[in-house]
Amino acid sequence: MTMEMKDGVAAGAERLNAVIAWWGLPSATHPDAIDKNFKRWLTFATDVQKVVADAYGAEVKTGIDRADRVGQWFQAFMLCRQPNDFLAAQSQLVAVLHESASHRAKRLSDVTQSLHECCASMARDTADDFREQVSESEQPAAKAARPRASQA
């Protein structure tokens, strides 16, 4: 993100916070709530993008390696003169394909775990903020209820 975009986003968040405060919405007690949520989503999106980019890079690297190994297999296959040579070349191809599938399954498992961690972190942070907002809104309500109870 360029500096101009960040400044524009920050200015927009400030304006939105001002409008919410003017409307008197509950989040107006937290003037930085929108900015905080925006930063949380930006962090989440950045983390997910990094996980996916890393997985894509690893998949490309594995694909290139697999293509090289299949090319070597094809050369070995073309040089086969005996049935045993053919079986050895065929076994080499099966090994390359199974190894590739194993790497892909491991990578998908890692990506799934990383995405789960990103989502769980986002959910925890959001829940913590909601708990904090609820406890802050209950405190003034409890203080307001005390004088009424003492007046009765």
pLDDT band of 31, cuts 50, 70, 90: low
What are the C-alpha distances in Å from 4 to residues 36, 87, 120?
19, 63, 31
How far from chain centre, in Å, is Cα 139?
35
Rounded-to-integer distance, Cα 99 and Cα 119, Å: 30
pLDDT score recorded for residue 141: 57
For the chain, what is the total number of helices (H) and then of strands (E)?
3, 0
Phi-psi region at 24: left, alpha or beta (left = phi > 0; alpha = psi -120 to 50) = left
C-alpha closest to that of 92 among 106, 84, 104, 62: 84
What's residue 21's pLDDT? 67
Please name the helix (run of DSSP H) or strand (run of DSSP E) that holds residue 13, with its range, or none: helix 3-23
Model confidence at 3, pLDDT cuts 50, 70, 90, reads low
Which candidate, 62, 73, 138, places its Cα nearest to that of 100?
A: 62
pLDDT in tens, 99-133: 999 999 999 999 999 999 999 999 998 888 878 87
CA distance 90 to 100: 15
Look at residue 1 and tell me whether its pLDDT is greater than 90: no
- Mean of the pLDDT values across residues 69-89? 89
Q: What is the pLDDT of residues 49-64, one digit of tens each?
A: 999 999 999 999 999 9
| Integer angstrom CA distances of residue 79 from 65, 74, 83, 84 | 21, 9, 11, 12
The Cβ of residue 73 has, within 10 Å, a number of other Cβ atoms equal to 19
pTM, 2 dp: 0.62
